[in-house]
Structure 1
Amino acid sequence: MAHGHHQHEQHGEQQHGQHGGHGHHDHTDIDWADMIPMLERNASVYEPLYTQALSWLRASRPAGTGLIVDAGAGPGAVSLHLAEAFPEARVIAADPEEALLTRAMERFAQHGIAERTGTLRVELPDSIDELPSADLIWAARSLHHVGDQRAAVAALAGRLAPGGTLALVEGGLPQRCLPRDFGLGRPGLQARADAIEEEWFGDMRAKLPGAKQDTENWTELLTDAGLTNAVSRTFLLDLPAPLSGEARETVVDLWKRRLDVFAEALPAEDIATMERLMDPKDPQGLYRRDDLFLLTAHTVHTAVKEA
């Protein structure tokens, strides 16, 4: 599974090459150690969203939580938030990439929680059965990198302790950062990029090992896995203009990736517009605009294993 970091924000591709990862067969040449600064910056920018989501998740689990597994944890940024939201719990960051797990351990030590945290190097979804039995499993923006999502949900559900909760972060709303007409090129660039990304995403999923087309009804998938009390809740990230430097860099990264990945599918006019947006010296570019904002949403789907 991915690290919750991915590349095309609409589907979770938040920056790693993202979307993903390992276990993803198409990013085997990524140097994950080099990706750490970007992943950590993005996690910092999205912190308000995760704070809301984990506060809601905490309130939904009145019973004690002894062990939490962050499946696809990357460098452990959200694992740290999980440890803060559930101070009584032990948190395990699980990921295939050793460099990211090393950074997660450093992070835990820096925040004084090394004694109740740990890491587990495991390939997901192939080795889900190596995950410990947990009271809460958090899998963010990663299942859509698995060919058979239904089987992966069932396997994760099987790793829950009685009374445990499975929390999946999938879906939400595409990122928006500019007005529909922002003064360059033909209005509606963001919507056109979203449409191209949907095509890209469908092609990506069709090429995954063991790919199966399944309706992305996460409540149904959780229920079919034998879990109960399935609930979905969407959380908003609303960073108004003017953006901080950190958030601005996150927006720039998204558009750089889009230009790299979608250039062949874009009309020449849109490519020219995107190149101007990338130009640090252009007064209408992303680096200098005072109207740049960041608005998006992620949806969390939860369900519980009967005690």
Structure 2
Amino acid sequence: MSAHQHTGHDHGQGHGEGHDHGHGHQDKGHGHHDHTHLDWAEMAPLLTAQAETQSPMYAAAADWLASLAPATGAVRRVLDVGSGPGVVTALLAEAFPEAEVVAVDGSPELLALARERADARGLGDRVATLRAELPGDFDRLGTADLVFASNSLHHIGDQGAAVKAFAGLLNPGGVIALAEGGLPTRHLPWNQGIGRPGFEARVDAEHAHWFGEMRAALPDAKDEIDDWAALLTGAGLTPSGTRSFLSDVPAPVPDAVRAQIVAHYTRLREGWAERLDGDDRTTMERLLDPAEPLSLHRRPDLFLLTARTVHTGRKV
């Protein structure tokens, strides 16, 4: 299990990565391909760029989590599970100035980036990295006052068991924060001028089918309702609030965000564009054609709008 920013459409963004890594779990970001076959190191620049674009959203979430700090005292240890390149790890370290924050991921290349980012931001003495694959390595994570898992839980077949394992890591008064769900990311107007209107909604629908297949194929997969409050309660925790956070980059987007959107759609085309009907596949090709006046490369109305929902539970 890896990363916040799954490139492409995250399952969290509207049933059907975000995140996409937002990502793009980006969150590594989120097409949201089978994570076991992704080259996270190759995707690192895109994951980092997506997470940086969405930093205001994640910073707001981190500040809110700081307001839920354990009643037993200061937060001393934070686990950022599925940390990816460490953009959110650094934000958590800034929001919890007395804490050691541990970036947990299965990719050594991404953990190296998390290390570099922490050092560059003057947080190196409080940020640690831990290579771990879940659910197998839960016993290596150690205890924590806050467990933050963004777009990573849905890569574990038995989500209820995973939440119970996370709950077992919490110190008394500690909080688990699950960033799962939200809204589908939107980049284009409903009538994008190429093909039939509503293109992104149809992409979301195909992604939802893909996501169901991905979930069903996971080890120990359970067909369970994504009722996060119920999962937290079932793990012996007391739900302590749910909030959604907006990422809004209006048109005209900066060049860096345009490049992320092009990369996002390029990955969708490589991953599962064959699921789309012929008209929508043609639309995808035209959107990615630099010579097309209404392509993603050139159109002035391109934007980025999404939301992430964070569900919390406290160990009492």
Report the aligned-residue RMSD: 2.0
Distance 1:10 1:26 in 2: 12
Question: In the superposition, relative to structure 1, how do residues 18 and 139 fare at CA in structure 2: closer, same or farther (>3 Å)?
Answer: closer
Distance 2:182 2:34 in 1: 24
Distance 1:255 1:275 in 2: 10
Q: Residue type of the partner of 1:196?
A: E
Partner of 2:3: 3
Indicate yes or no: 2:98 matched with 1:92: no
Indicate yes or no: 2:88 matched with 1:78: yes
Q: CA deviation at 1:129?
A: 1.6
Contact 2:25 2:151 in 1 (8 A): no
Contact 2:179 2:311 in 1 (8 A): yes
After superposition, what is the alpha-carbon deviation per residue over 1:186-215, rounded to whole angstroms, capped at 9, x for unaligned?
111111111111100001100111100000
Question: Secondary structure, in 3 states, of the residue corresponding to 2:125?
Answer: helix
Distance 1:2 1:119 in 2: 13
Q: CA deviation at 1:35?
A: 2.0
Q: CA deviation at 1:229?
A: 3.3
Distance 1:213 1:123 in 2: 22
Contact 2:7 2:47 in 1 (8 A): no
Equivalent residues in 2 for 1:201-220 (5 A)? 201-220=211-230
Distance 1:75 1:125 in 2: 20
Distance 1:166 1:27 in 2: 23
Alignment TM-score, normalising by the size of structure 1 = 0.94
Question: Secondary structure, in 3 states, of the residue corresponding to 1:162?
Answer: strand
Partner of 1:44: 52
One of 289, 293, 301 as aligned partner of 1:283:
293
Question: Secondary structure, in 3 states, of the residue corresponding to 1:8?
Answer: coil
Q: Residue type of the partner of 1:14?
A: D
Distance 2:288 2:126 in 1: 43
Question: Secondary structure, in 3 states, of the residue corresponding to 1:36?
Answer: helix
Contact 2:175 2:314 in 1 (8 A): yes
Contact 1:17 1:27 in 2 (8 A): no
Q: Residue type of the partner of 2:85?
A: P
Partner of 1:59: 67
Question: Unpaired runs of 5+ in structure 1?
Answer: none
Question: Secondary structure, in 3 states, of the residue corresponding to 1:108?
Answer: helix
Question: Secondary structure, in 3 states, of the residue corresponding to 1:208?
Answer: coil
Partner of 1:248: 258
Contact 1:223 1:230 in 2 (8 A): no
After superposition, what is the alpha-carbon deviation per residue over 1:163-206, rounded to whole angstroms, capped at 9, x for unaligned?
11100100100011111101111111111111111100001100
Partner of 2:20: 14
Q: CA deviation at 1:26?
A: 4.5
Distance 1:66 1:281 in 2: 53
Indicate yes or no: 2:157 matched with 1:151: no
The count of aligned residue pairs is 304
Question: Unpaired runs of 5+ in structure 2?
Answer: 12-16
